[in-house]
Structure formats: C-alpha cells, structure tokens
A and B are shown apart, each in its own frame.
Chain A
Amino acid sequence: MINPYEHKEAQVIKVSDQGTDIKSFDFKIKDGGLLDYTPGQFFVFSLPGYGESVFVPAEKVGKKNVYDIAVHKLGRVTSRFHQLKTGDTFGIRGPYGNGFDLNKFKGKNILLIAGGIGLVPLRCLLNYYINRNELDLKNRSIQLLYGCRSFGVMIFKDELKKWNRDFDIQISLDEGDHPAGTGMNCYKGVITVLFNKIDIIKNGVAILCGPPVIYKFVVPEVKQVGYNDEDIYLSLERRMHCAGLGTCQHCAVGPYYVCKDGPVFSYAQLKDTVQYF
C-alpha cells in the first residue's frame, strides 16, 4: 500500500526576498521529476523536526521543471523555511485539492482579486496560462485587483510590472505608501475602495484569495458588479494536518473539507455555510 505521508525530495535553487517576512524559493524535484497539478491545487512541504506546511507552488515562467513557492514566516515550519539556503532540501507530497476548473474559465473574462499572500494561487494560474500561451487576451479581458497593507509586503513586484503591460492591474495599499515609478495604478485604502474608483470588468468569472475579511467585504462588491454566485470562486485557507487526505477534520467547513473538496469553492457552494470567513 502506498504511504500517502511519504514525500519526494526537492532542492532549493534560489532564495529571494519578496517583502516583509516573505521569501520565495525556486526549487526542483531531486530526481528531475515534474509536479503534475492543476493551478489552485496545493502541496504539502516537509522539514524533518519542524513539521509540514501547505503552500501553492507555481511554475517559473519560461523554465521547465523549476517551480517556486512564496512563504510567509508565521510559525514553526515557515520560520525554518526562511533559514533554508541554495542547495538545501525539503520534502514535498501532493498535489491535493481540486484546483481551478479551467474548463469553466475558457474564453471568459477573469477578474482576479487578491489580498496579501493570497496572490500566490492566482499567480500560479497566470504563470500556467503564460507558459502555455493561454492568456487569450485577444478574446477576453483579465484584471487583477491586489490589496496589501503596504508597498513593503507586496509580493512578486517584478512580475506585477510585467503583467501590467498585458492586462489591467489595480492596487490598494492600506497605508497608501506607493512609491512612484512602478507604473501601476495605486489607491490608498482597503481593497474595497477600488470598486468605487475604477471600472471593474464584467461578464466573466471572479476568483478571490486572501485573508478571511476580504471574503466578507469583497464578495458583496463583486455581486454588485453583476457576478452570479456560481461565477465567484474563493480559495480558502484552513488549518491542515493530514492535509489533503480528508481525515484529520482540521479543515472542515460545514459539509466540506477544504483539503479535499476545496480549496477552491464557488460562492454558491459556500453561501449557506456558516463558518467560511
């Protein structure tokens, strides 16, 4: 019987600072293997003596077999991750969860809404499209609304600048400390301010990921723009221990397990479920 708790070994090939307390790690699988996943799925990362943590890796643009994760330093495992250097190894098992239903996104406008580190799964989707030439901007619009506490905690700034040449990016910073020269539109305030200031794309799907408060306050705004409950997707974060096997119960939300039935849910699935934010 396969032991689902066993993992493959991966090796760090580059470490970059992404913002306050956030580092990204480029890595490859040690036996040269590929990570086979659908954007939005997650993997479980393991450091012996520290434990396991759940992150969403993304393919690097234009590089085969190289992936990266952004890790926000918050506790035992993530602090240990921040000590890793080029050449160090860690364990990885997965993929788990459902990921985005890419068929439903085909040919449709995509409104991406991220808060803080919640940009990670949305970037995973964008990199996936970019590597396959599937952004499809001739036939549809993509717009990214990105809310952060301050400019310092914004992640993947270089990529944001690049994307900004191809599609619309709008940023809100709670502290309004936007330095000149980034070329991106930026507003002071929490992410909901964007809904009063700019034209939000319509007639498509909306994908949200961020801290719980953004679901509470942003979903009503997105509905106001005209999105149906079925076309609003939320990627949820919950504590995980079995992380993907649907047994330990830590990630349960009403009738669902985030690690197995999610992490991506439509708002239609969740709206009657109490504990989702």
Chain B
Amino acid sequence: MSPQNLVVIGASLAGLRAAEAARKAGFSGTITMVGAEHHLPYDRPPLSKAYLDGVEPKAPYFRTEEKLRDDLGVELLLGASATGLDTANKQVLLGESRLDYDALVIATGATARRLPGVAGLAGVHTLRTLDDAMAVRGALDAGARTVVVGCGFIGSEVASGARKRGLEVTVVEAQPTPLARAVGDEMGRVCAKLHHRHGTDLRCGVGVERIEGEGRVERVVLSDGTAIDADLVVVGIGAEPNTEWLAGSGLALDDGVVCDEYLCAGDGIYAAGDVARWHNPLFDRAMRLEHWTSAAEQAAVAARNAVHPAEAKPYRTVPYFWSDWYDSRIQFVGIPAAEEVRIVEGDPARDRRVVALYREGDRLVGALTINGQNVIMKFRGLIMKGASWADAVAFAEQRRAVAASA
C-alpha cells in the first residue's frame, strides 16, 4: 500500500520543500512537520546578507501559517524536537510521546560549530538562526568593533556587512589560506583579496587562544599573543549535521545521514538538505552539501520518492552556491577537488571579474566566478553534460574574446 502518513522532521527550507513537493505529487495523506525552532520555516541566506545591512530587514519567512495549514494541509509542531527514531515500529520519538509514520523525511539540517569555553559570554555569537541574526544585527546597530572567527562564506559575509556600515572588522582564520576546502588554495587566496581591498583586517594562520571579558566580550587573544578589542565576536567555523537524535536508530551515520542515490536511508526513510550525505551519480561519490539549491531540490526528490516509492528517481546534481562579499558576487559550481585550477579570465590582482576552471583528469569538474554571473551557469551546464577540459577551456576563451571585443 502506498504511504498515507508522511512525517517531516525539520521545519526549514528542506522540510517545507518536502511538504510542498509531496502535495504537488498528488499525496493526499496526512503531513506532520516537526521543527525545533519556534519560527515558521524561514530563509537563511539573507541572514548574513540583507539582514545585516543598515536598512530595516524584511522577515525571511517563506509562507504564512495559514498557507501551511490550510493550503498545504500540514500539521505543524513547532518548538518540538525529535529525540529518537524507532524504525521497527515506524515511530519518531518526541520526548515522551511518539509519532507514527509510514514515510519519513529527515530534514534536520546542521548546527553552527561553537568555540569551546565561551558559554555565557555576552557578545559572542554564531550565525545560523534568525535569533542569531537578530542578535548580530543589534550589535552592529550599536557600532560594535567586530571580530569574525573563521574566514568561511558566512564569516566573510558578516565582515562585509560590518564594513558596509563603516565598522572596524578583523577576521581571524586558523588556516594559512581561507576557503581552501571549499574552493581550493589558489582561489581561496583570490577571494581573500576582497577583504584586503575593503579594509577588513584578515589574519590567516593564527588561532584564537581565548576570548576575555567580564560577563561580556572585551577582547580576543590570538595564538600569537596579539589581543584585539571587540564588542562583537561572530564565530563562523562551520556546521555539524544534526544527527544526534538518530544515534542508536540503526541508520548509517557518517558526517550526515547516509543515503543512496534515491536519498533513501532506510525502510520508508529519506533525508534531504544539510543533514543528508548521499551518493551523487554525476560525480560517482558520496557528498554532503550545505547549499540552498541542493537542499531545496533534494527535499523535493526525497518527498516524491517517499510517497511514491515505486517510481523513485535518483538525485544527481552539479553543486552550486553563491556568496555576496562587499560589492562582489562569488559563485561556484561543481566540486573543488581538482588536479588543476586555471584562471581563464581576469587578473585577480587588478580585475573585479575573475573566472577560474577546475580540472580532474580530462574533465571539467568545477568553475568559480567573481562577478561572472553571465557565464557561471553555462559552465554548470557543461559540467552537467560531462564536458571535456579542452572544450571548456575553448568555450571560456571564446567568451573572453567576445567580451574583449565588445
């Protein structure tokens, strides 16, 4: 019998898209969505971008409560956490109570990693939730001297937001080059230049020794002994998938919920979004992404497969993310694990626009652009089609020639 009772754990982007896709696929059974936060599903990318700007921010909620309940027919349990999973009886544990499912979508996302030993110190924040963003925004409004720990995408966006307001910002990065894992060493260095150009004090290869202050942060002491005065510290050192509640459930967990190419993790159980590690057939490897686009798409595929298992389809994608720093947009498609990175357009020392390609064997596997909105998706298309490195380089050359003659 086809499933009649869909339970979605996690009420954010992936959770919402799962519920919407199930309905769109004609599912008429019950949908229950459980979310640990008290908020209705909301969008995270703006939290480190528009939300930190000087102007009054727009509430980032995706849908109204009426829309979710009445139009989508979702029973919402907000402020409730799943605490366990009993696969034998097909039940999700919510503390003392149990929720039956016959199809389950796990969309519990990820939690920002914290620095040890700073609990209870006011002015030290991570940036993952709307509540975090309100706190960071409030501190920026008050003109905080800002220290960002970790030169990843979110930390860099916070630094941009603070600089746009004219505030003093220091970014502390433990690795010798920022973003090495996300885009490789060479392009990590190129991105780092954006910070230098906009007056952010970026210090690489140095760790945070401790954060000092009486009840509230006063300064950050680095491993080289320097002390930086600060009113606001934003910690952006990555995120961990929310899988603790699944410990002992029998599901395979390995930096995420392990799924096959159908996003299936067990009998009637699917996962999507930041929490899912699935086999991406396009690159023939397992990956866990923390990107908006794949979270939305995986959720739709997972939900359709969950409610119509007989017609299950695999999820294949060329990973894509963007990040806005100062007045530049960084976009990346594909995977950064490459044997060669070649800058095919722009001189990073001089130009605002840079295009770089990533090679594995004789295949194009990735592309990064800074202010290259008009080509990035063409490279995504090429990667999707399995284009050769030679063809990709030729295409880039042709685009560059056209642009130069314009």
Q: Do A and B come from one complex?
A: no
